[in-house]
């Protein structure tokens, strides 16, 4: 975009160039300035008489300086009918009055020059097919600040406007094509739904007539349901249980052998102490010398100090491995099976947090606020799965900054309340109603299956509980899970409220 210089300040006097009295500044008197300027430029005086019309202006408009200089109608170069150009309105000081009539939304005030205006428009009379011009006009003032004329510069922006129009047309064509394809897809989808409906009717009729196929289909459905359930859980619980079971046996005898080894080392140290006491009583100089050399070579004093330290550190490591194995077993409930039982919710939460610690520790701090709650009748491994899904999702919701995940429990009547809240990115309102839909996920492709929350919702429903969620973008999310203490009470309340 081209802009003019600051408004010229003209002296009171005027000099005559040719047949017209022209403004006095040297840059306006100079024909070289006007014709050498690559930007189309013309100047009018306070009586609207054209005083300058450079070569670039003549090239754009097709009107030579001989035709235009000295006339009062610069509009002839741009319009088919008489109307003021932007420079005329600036000289008269009536730009604001005529914006609506002549320019509407095509004009704006200059940000650089007080009293100057910029506008762009299409001029059908220029060239063979018309031209788009961007014009900028500014007042010319004398030494006392009076407006004694106006200068207007123009730039041919036809190619840019045509490119914009072509781009807009291409966009319209694309939108039309998309709409057409969308209609075709909708029609195809409608036909597909009709076909599916007919297939479902035929399948229902076939199942009704053939009892054996119905029974086989039922078994197949159950097998498929179990397979989908296994995929949703990603086999984590079963794999963890198997690994824990396999590790537990060798850890057991290592731990037992380690205790025995500690006893043996204590006895060996006692024997070494006795030998050390007897060493001073050896009369043979050669034997005593060899024992002293051997003591220095094996660094016996250092070994007596370091071996107990190594044993204690090793024992601590084995205890930690044993704790991890126990947490894996508690998480998967491998010893309990899939049966309803009374379980300590806090113990299950602790085991689950230990299992997912590597997923969480680099992204957030976990704060536990446990209340005084009783054991609940549940399927412990499935409740652990819900806790794992919620905590891992909370960790994934953290941005670059480290956040906080708060796990809180409380008792409300016949229900235990488990709250898992985070300070992550939050969930938008349009997605909040869909988070429990199967396969719905906002994570990038390959980083989420969309089954975690859906599976958690199903597990809570199976326990006759409910999930509430509250979230705000940029502030975090809170899941509130209510689980009944007793299974029978919850089942009775559910059946009593059913319609």
Q: What is the pLDDT of residues 364-417, one digit of tens each?
A: 999 999 999 999 999 888 888 888 888 888 888 887 888 999 999 999 999 999
Can you give the pLDDT at residue 253?
61
- Tell whether 320 and 378 lie within a shared domain: no
- Tell whether 267 and 376 lie within a shared domain: no
Q: Does residue 379 sit within a domain?
A: yes
- Tell whether 326 and 355 lie within a shared domain: no
Q: How confident is the model over 355-365, as a mean pLDDT?
A: 85
Residue 11 has pLDDT above 60, yes or no: no
Can you give the pLDDT at residue 218?
66
* Domain end (from 332, 355, 373): 332
Can you give the pLDDT at residue 498?
40
Q: What residues make up the domain containing 462?
A: 341-497
Q: Which residue has the higher pLDDT, 74 or 230?
A: 74
Can you give the pLDDT at residue 243?
62
Q: How confident is the model over 110-131, as a mean pLDDT?
A: 85
- Tell whether 49 and 73 lie within a shared domain: yes
What CATH number has the domain bearing residue 104? Answer: 3.30.450.20
- Tell whether 289 and 391 lie within a shared domain: no
Can you give the pLDDT at residue 242?
55
Q: Does residue 325 sit within a domain?
A: yes
* Domain end (from 121, 156, 191): 156
Domain count, the chain: 3
Q: Does residue 416 sit within a domain?
A: yes
Can you give the pLDDT at residue 53?
93
The sign one gets for the Cα dihedral 168, 170, 171, 175 is: positive
Q: Does residue 286 sit within a domain?
A: yes
Which residue from 157, 156, 159 is spatially nearest to 167, judged by alpha carbons?
159
Q: Does residue 310 sit within a domain?
A: yes
- Tell whether 255 and 390 lie within a shared domain: no
Q: Does residue 59 sit within a domain?
A: yes
Q: Which of 289-316 are b and which e, b meaning 16 or more Cβ less than 10 Å from the residue's Cβ?
A: eeeeeeeeeeeeeeeeeeeeeeeeeeee
What CATH number has the domain bearing residue 375? Answer: 3.30.565.10
* Domain end (from 332, 360, 385): 332
Can you give the pLDDT at residue 376?
93
- Tell whether 287 and 417 lie within a shared domain: no
Look at 8-17, 131-140, 246-255, 368-377 and tell me which has the smallest mean pLDDT. 8-17
Residue 227 has pLDDT above 80, yes or no: no
Residue 54 tokens read as 């450079």
Q: Which residue has the higher pLDDT, 224 or 389?
A: 389
- Residue 116 CA to residue 114 CA, distance in Å, equals 6
Q: Residue 444 pairs with which residues in a beta bridge? A: none
Q: Which residue has the higher pLDDT, 445 or 190?
A: 190
Q: Which of 110-122 are b and which e, b meaning 16 or more Cβ less than 10 Å from the residue's Cβ?
A: eeebebbbbbbbe
Residue 346 has pLDDT above 80, yes or no: yes
- Tell whether 147 and 14 lie within a shared domain: yes
Please, which pLDDT band fits residue 71 given cuts at 50, 70 and 90?
Answer: very high
Q: Which residue has the higher pLDDT, 295 or 139?
A: 139
- Tell whether 13 and 149 lie within a shared domain: yes
Contacts of residue 245, defined as CB under 8 A and 6 or more positions apart, other chains included, come to 329, 334
Q: What is the mean pLDDT of the chain?
A: 77
Look at 115-119, 177-181, 326-330, 364-368 and tell me which has the smallest mean pLDDT. 326-330
Q: How confident is the model over 323-346, as a mean pLDDT?
A: 69
Q: How confident is the model over 449-466, as a mean pLDDT?
A: 81
Q: How confident is the model over 189-196, as a mean pLDDT?
A: 88
- Tell whether 407 and 489 lie within a shared domain: yes
Among 30-34, 101-105, 211-215, 221-225, top mean pLDDT goes to: 101-105
Which residue, chain included where needed, has tokens 């966009």? 171
Q: Does residue 197 sit within a domain?
A: no
Q: Does residue 244 sit within a domain?
A: yes
Q: How confident is the model over 109-116, as a mean pLDDT?
A: 83
- Tell whether 280 and 385 lie within a shared domain: no
This prediction's pTM: 0.40
Q: How confident is the model over 146-168, as a mean pLDDT?
A: 89
- Tell whether 72 and 119 lie within a shared domain: yes
């Amino acid at each position: 975009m081209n802009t003019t210089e600051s408004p010229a300040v003209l002296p009171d006097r005027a000099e005559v160039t040719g047949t017209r009295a022209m403004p006095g500044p040297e840059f306006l008197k100079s024909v070289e300035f006007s014709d050498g300027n690559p930007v189309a430029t013309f100047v009018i005086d306070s009586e609207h008489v054209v005083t300058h019309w450079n070569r670039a202006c003549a090239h754009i408009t097709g009107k030579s300086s001989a035709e235009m200089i000295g006339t009062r109608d610069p509009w002839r170069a741009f319009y088919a009918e008489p109307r003021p150009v932007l420079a005329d309105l600036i000289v008269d000081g009536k730009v604001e009055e005529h914006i609506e009539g002549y320019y509407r939304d095509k004009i704006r005030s200059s940000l650089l020059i007080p009293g100057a205006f910029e506008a762009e428009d299409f001029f059908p009379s220029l060239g063979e097919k018309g031209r788009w011009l961007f014009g900028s006009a500014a007042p010319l003032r004398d030494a006392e600040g009076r407006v004694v004329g106006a200068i207007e510069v123009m730039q041919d922006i036809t190619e840019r406007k045509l490119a914009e129009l072509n781009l807009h047309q291409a966009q319209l064509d694309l939108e039309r094509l998309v709409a057409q394809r969308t209609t075709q897809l909708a029609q195809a989808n409608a036909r597909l739904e009709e076909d599916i409906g007919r297939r479902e009717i035929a399948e229902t009729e076939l199942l009704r007539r053939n009892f054996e196929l119905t029974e086989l289909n039922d078994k197949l459905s159950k097998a498929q349901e179990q397979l989908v359930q296994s995929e949703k859980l990603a086999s984590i619980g079963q794999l963890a249980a198997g690994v824990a079971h396999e590790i537990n046996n060798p850890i057991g005898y290592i731990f037992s052998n380690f205790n025995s080894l500690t006893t043996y080392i204590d006895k060996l140290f006692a024997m070494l102490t006795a030998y050390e006491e007897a060493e001073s009583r050896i009369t043979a100089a050669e034997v005593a010398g060899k024992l002293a050399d051997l003591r220095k070579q094996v660094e016996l004093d250092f070994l007596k100090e370091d071996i107990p330290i190594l044993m204690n550190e090793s024992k601590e490591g084995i205890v930690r491995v044993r704790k991890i194995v126990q947490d894996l077993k508690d998480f998967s409930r491998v010893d309990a099976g899939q049966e309803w039982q009374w379980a300590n919710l806090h113990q299950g939460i602790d085991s689950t947090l230990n299992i997912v610690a590597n997923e969480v520790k680099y992204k957030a701090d976990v704060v536990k606020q446990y209340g005084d709650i009783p054991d609940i009748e549940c399927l412990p491994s499935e409740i652990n799965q819900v806790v794992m899904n919620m905590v891992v999702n909370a960790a994934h919701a953290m941005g670059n900054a480290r956040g906080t995940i708060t796990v809180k429990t409380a008792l409300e009547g016949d229900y235990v309340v488990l709250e898992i809240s985070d300070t992550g990115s939050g969930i938008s309102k349009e997605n909040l109603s869909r988070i429990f839909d199967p396969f719905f996920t906002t994570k990038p492709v390959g980083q989420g299956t969309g089954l975690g929350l859906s599976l958690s919702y199903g597990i809570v429903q199976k326990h006759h509980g409910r999930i509430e969620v509250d979230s705000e973008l940029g502030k975090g999310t809170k899941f509130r899970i209510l689980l009944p203490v007793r299974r029978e009470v919850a089942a009775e309340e559910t059946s009593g409220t059913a319609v």
